[in-house]
């Protein structure tokens, strides 16, 4: 998951006056992966773009707090994950008094998304993932789509590897059950 230039970036960060150069390299190396991670969580392209920008802004502002012995990608993923979760919480709060849940709204928006070109099976899979509790959905995305090791997920989410493995297992079982119940 790390960039081949992480050591170079860390060296630039520790040298006075090279913060902007190092940060440009971070954006180049991690922008696309972070966008995909965020997009899987929020589903909507414009929201993912906004959250990615907010994540990079927060990383830029807090780059001095980055500990060089840590991995850049886990630090960046933690920021992007927290920004995405905060965004989702705000959206859900705005739906508190609505008859429609935010997850239902996301499913509707997925149907209308010009960037979604998946088939019926993929759409059903996305609906199954949306039916998961937020934490299981996040763990599923990190493990299934990003193929992230549990140790890295533990750093990002601040949860034990055992709990993450259990969460992933439960998510997979729920998705399987959902797919079996909704196949024609």
- Domain ranges for the chain: 1-97, 118-184
Confidence of residue 174 (pLDDT cuts 50, 70, 90): very high
Mean pLDDT of 30-48: 92
In CATH terms, is domain 118-184 a member of 1.10.10.10?
yes
- Say whether 118-184 and 1-97 share the same fold: no
- Domain 1-97, what architecture? Orthogonal Bundle (1.10)
Q: Are 138 and 81 in contact (CB under 8 A)?
A: yes
* Surface-to-core class of residue 149, CB atoms within 10 Å of its CB (0-12 exposed, 13-18 middle, 19+ buried): middle
pTM, two decimal places: 0.78
Distance, in Å, from the CA atom of 96 to the CA atom of 115, rounded to the nearest integer, reads: 28
């Amino acid at each position: 998951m790390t960039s081949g230039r992480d050591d170079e970036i860390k060296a630039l960060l520790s040298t006075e006056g090279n913060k902007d150069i190092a940060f440009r390299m971070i954006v180049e190396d991690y922008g696309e992966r972070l966008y995909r991670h965020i997009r899987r969580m929020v589903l909507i392209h414009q929201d993912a773009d906004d959250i990615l920008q907010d994540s990079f802004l927060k990383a830029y502002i807090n780059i001095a707090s980055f500990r060089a012995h840590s991995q850049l990608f886990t630090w960046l993923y933690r920021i992007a994950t927290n920004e995405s979760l905060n965004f989702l919480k705000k959206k859900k709060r705005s739906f508190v008094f609505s008859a429609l849940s935010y997850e239902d709204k996301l499913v509707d928006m997925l149907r209308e998304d010009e960037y979604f070109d998946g088939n019926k099976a993929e759409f059903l899979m996305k609906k199954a993932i949306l039916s998961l509790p937020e934490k299981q959905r996040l763990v599923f995305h990190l493990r299934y789509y990003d193929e992230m090791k549990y140790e890295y997920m533990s750093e990002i989410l601040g949860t034990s590897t055992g709990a993450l493995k259990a969460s992933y297992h439960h998510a997979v079982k729920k998705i399987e059950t959902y797919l079996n119940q909704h196949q024609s």
